[in-house]
Amino acid sequence: MTQHGFARDRTFGWSACEKTSCTLDLTDDATSRERFPFAFRLAVTYAVDDVHLDVRFEITNSGDETLPASLGGHPAFNWPLLPGLRKEAYGIHFSNEETAPIRRLSGGLLREKPEPTPIAGKYLALSEQLFTDDAVILDRPASTGIRYAADRGPTIGLQWQGFRELGIWSKPDGAPFLCLEPWRGFASPLDFDGEFSDKPGVMKIAPGKTEILGYRISVG
């Protein structure tokens, strides 16, 4: 598979389309089975109101064998949110204290050993240098919600359900965005050499069952 899997490169079909919500779906076919030889249906629902975007993922195993799967969000936000404000004025506030080590990547693969967290209690100070070693990966976050903000201007809230990891990423070269990414599954460890179904972090969905994940973005 290419980086981040195959679903993002496919055209989804319309399942529902309302004034403030829509559902799109993707099912396995001959093309998908060339890369991912499993039966599935992935339905994604988006719903908006004045200050929220709700995104819901339903992964159904439509086959007769266990479905191994990974899925992640990739929402990106302006950084800075308020034009003219320094990037270093921003930080991420976690709903709970985050004391566990973080993970980092080398060449797109997960480094073998965890690293000390840059999070001080419930707060992560942001800077471009933070991403010199690629994403900050929380593979066992204590929080299920964060707030991205400075001491003035707009704020972004993110809450998630069903996701077990969190990736925080930007490019350390002046990129004007910050990605806050709920994940279920992550990159292969550097020393991993085995079946996809045995990869750490992969969901295993029984035949006929559905796994539901979601996140809410709030603008304040």
DSSP states of 9-24: GSPPEEEEE-SSEEEE
Is residue 2 domain-resident? no
Domain residues for the domain of 43 are: 7-219
Give the separation between CA 109 and CA 128, rounded to whole angstroms. Answer: 21
Measured in degrees and rounded to the nearest 5, phi and psi for residue 59 equal -110, 115
Is residue 50 domain-resident? yes
Residue with tokens 């319309």: 14
Is residue 76 domain-resident? yes
Is residue 99 domain-resident? yes
pLDDT on residue 171 = 94
CB-based contacts of 11: which residues, under 8 Å, 6+ apart?
Answer: none
Write the single-letter amino acid at 92.
I
Is residue 162 domain-resident? yes
CATH number at residue 37: 2.70.98.10
Q: Report how many domains make up the chain.
A: 1
pLDDT on residue 1 = 77
pTM: 0.94
Is residue 123 domain-resident? yes
Q: How many residues does the chain have?
A: 220
Average pLDDT (187-202) is 91
Average pLDDT, the chain: 96
Would you say residue 37 has pLDDT above 80?
Answer: yes
Would you say residue 3 has pLDDT above 90?
Answer: no
Would you say residue 172 has pLDDT above 80?
Answer: yes
Pair 14, 21: CB distance under 8 Å: no
**Sheet strand arrangement including 41-48:** 13-17, 21-27, 41-48, 52-60, 210-219, 156-161, 145-149, 91-94, 123-125
pLDDT single digits (tens) 134-152: 999 999 999 999 999 999 9
- Assess whether the previous peptide bond of 75 is cis (omega < 30° from 0): no
pLDDT single digits (tens) 80-127: 999 999 999 999 999 999 999 999 999 889 999 999 999 999 999 999
Token representation of residue 53: 């975007």
Is residue 1 domain-resident? no
